[in-house]
Each structure stands twice: as structure tokens, then as C-alpha cells.
Structure 1
């Protein structure tokens, strides 16, 4: 199965997404959700092409993997994770997280990995929960 890596970045007009490893897949919107939907709409449009114009990956199984810049990720999940909650799971203080979310500061690689690993560990923990 092919993995299509979609990069989502924040810009002055909203959010922009594009495939890192496939041509012609792009999308945008005022929110991350709108951007993701626009990317899905773009893929549906590509499916309607015929012959040599249709990208080869569409004839096989594929999955989309979303890669965010830090500001986009923090803004996308701000209704789910408070800065206080992120501080608890990452060990990064709330003021610094707010700087990352606003785009005033970009985290170093070490800080990005702290955030990413904390979210992945939380996901694993949640997958192990039964009610």
C-alpha cells in the first residue's frame, strides 16, 4: 500500500496542503478541516481523469498521512487540547506552547519531537482503554 504524505502548513490566508510524494495533489482552506476536505476533493477529481493524465497511485491501494507544521497542528487541535493539557503531557510550559501555536516562535527539532511523541503516547494509551 502506498502512503501519500500530505504536508499541511499555515499561511496568511489560512491553510495550504500538498502531497510531498505525488504531483497534482493540493488543497487549501480557512481551516485545517477545509484544507483536508479540499485535498480529498482534489483526489476525487484526479480519479475522473483518463489515460496518461490519471496518476498511477489511484489504481492501487493508498493511504493519506498528514504531516503538520507545529502551528497548524496546535491550532487544529486547540479545541481538544488546552495549553495546560499539552504542558502536562509534553513537559513544555504553556507560554512556550502558545508561542508555537501563534507562529511567533518555531520549536527546535527536540521540542517538535517532544510534542509528537507525547501525542503518539497518548494515542497508544487511549487505544488500550476499554469501557
Structure 2
């Protein structure tokens, strides 16, 4: 079973990892100052839940997780790897706007999110076709 886990940046600047539509018989969350910390905390919560179920002799439902970023978390994380000017060229969205989205000062509309996602996926597809010699 693969379960979708949302990674979101909170208003206070910290990150949370949670299952939105939980089909598991237990709930787990993760929190941290970075998205990576939230993911690690989520994974630790999963391990602790599994240990608890074993301790009380209750059947545990195993799962793998697919971590999905909200736009603010994605931009905040990747703006440390790719410059905002580079992200602007890839997405077609002004780097000032991207900065506002990454810091949580503004929230993008649905069409903007779709545009960014589409252009990032196209860029990723282009990278898959590149060969280095």
C-alpha cells in the first residue's frame, strides 16, 4: 500500500507532514523546522506506531509513503538548490512572486499552481532525455 503524505509549510515557518485522506487504521504526523525534519519525524512516528502495535499484539497495516509538497514548501526547499531566477525561467512566473509564495506571504491561485507544476514537469522530462558523455 502506498499512502500520500502532504508536506506543508505553516504560518509560523515550520513544516508539517500528514496524511490527508487516511485509509490506515492509525494516524501519524511529522513536524520540523524544515521539510526534511518533518519527513524524518513522520517516519519516526510510523516506526513508533509499528512498535506500539507490536507491543499490544495488534495487527499493523504496513505502508509505503509518497511525500507531496505544497507549492510554498516546494519552492522554499528548491529555492536553496535552484535560484529564483532559474525557477522563473523554468516556470514562467516572476521571481518576486515565487519569493512571496516560498515565504508564505502570498498564496498562488489555482491556475498559477497548475502553470508552475506543468512547467516543472516539462523541465524534469527534458532532463530525463539528456545524455552526458
Q: Give TM class, smaller chain.
A: 0.7 to 0.9
2:29 match = 26
For residues 1-131 of structure 1, the aligned pairs below 5 Å read 2-11=1-10, 12=12, 14-22=14-22, 23-48=26-51, 49-50=53-54, 51-52=57-58, 54=60, 56=61, 58=62, 62-131=63-132
Shift of 1:34: 0.6
Any unmatched runs of 5+ in structure 2? none
Q: Cα RMSD over matched residues?
A: 1.7
CA displacement, residues 57-98 of structure 1 (integer Å, 9 cap, x when unaligned):
x0xxx4322222221111111111211111111111111111
Secondary structure of 1:122's aligned partner: helix
Aligned equivalents of 1:129, 1:46: Cα separation in 2: 42
SS at match of 2:58: helix
**TM score, norm. by length of structure 2:** 0.83
In structure 1, runs of 5+ residues without a counterpart are none
User: Could you tell me the TM-score, scaled by structure 1's length?
Assistant: 0.84
Change (3 A) 1:13 1:53: farther
Structure 1 CA distance for aligned equivalents of residues 36 and 4 of structure 2: 16
- Matched residue count: 125
Structure 1 runs, 4 residues or longer, greater than 4 Å off: none
For residues 7-57 of structure 1, give each alpha carbon's deviation from its aligned partner in whole angstroms, at most 9, with x where no partner exists: 111121511111123341210111111111111111222222234363x2x
